[in-house]
Copies of this chain bind each other. A is one copy, B any other.
């Protein structure tokens, strides 16, 4: 079983970076629709989406938010992080088949409370900036090395 670890507040340095990539497939958009309840046809119905300014199905904007949150929770600072706040600007649509990469960079540390601020920039495979934002977290005080839980299989369709 694989493991996940973290960076404690004391280990984190200004300018530290991490990246996290994900291919966005039809399956991801269907799962995000199921879990959020946003079943707008621009995400799910290719014929309808073709009539919109986007020309084809686009991912939910907040799916990129979910990927940013995973980058923070899995990579920097990683497990034990308390998520305090996030700002997001949705700059360009993410389409099915796009691979998005979250770039995180530590831009501020507040020693008294253990707060860390991270710049969040999400690019597609064409190096276009699709989402930007800033995250504020309370970094872990203790080093953790955890077994990565195995998710039960998720199946879509009959």
Q: Give the interface of A toward B (CB within 8 A).
A: 4, 20, 22, 28, 30-42, 44-45, 48, 60-63, 65-70, 73-74, 79, 83-90, 146-149, 151-158
How many monomers of this chain does the complex have? 2
Contact A40 B85 (CB under 8 A): no
> A38 — which chain B residues lie within 8 A by C-beta?
66, 69-70, 73-74
Interface centre among A22, A44, A86, A158 (most CB of B within 10 A): A86
Contact B148 A31 (CB under 8 A): no
Which of B48, B69, B83, B157 contacts A36 (CB under 8 A)?
Answer: B69
Contact B87 A63 (CB under 8 A): no
Closest chain B residue, CB of each to CB of A68? B62
Contact B67 A37 (CB under 8 A): yes
Which of B22, B39, B62, B154 contacts A156 (CB under 8 A)?
Answer: B154
A sample of 24 cross-chain residue pairs with beta-carbon separation below 8 angstroms, ordered by A number, consists of A22-B37, A34-B151, A35-B35, A35-B63, A35-B66, A36-B67, A36-B69, A37-B67, A38-B66, A38-B70, A39-B74, A39-B148, A39-B149, A39-B151, A40-B74, A42-B79, A48-B146, A60-B69, A62-B69, A63-B66, A66-B66, A85-B87, A85-B89, A154-B155
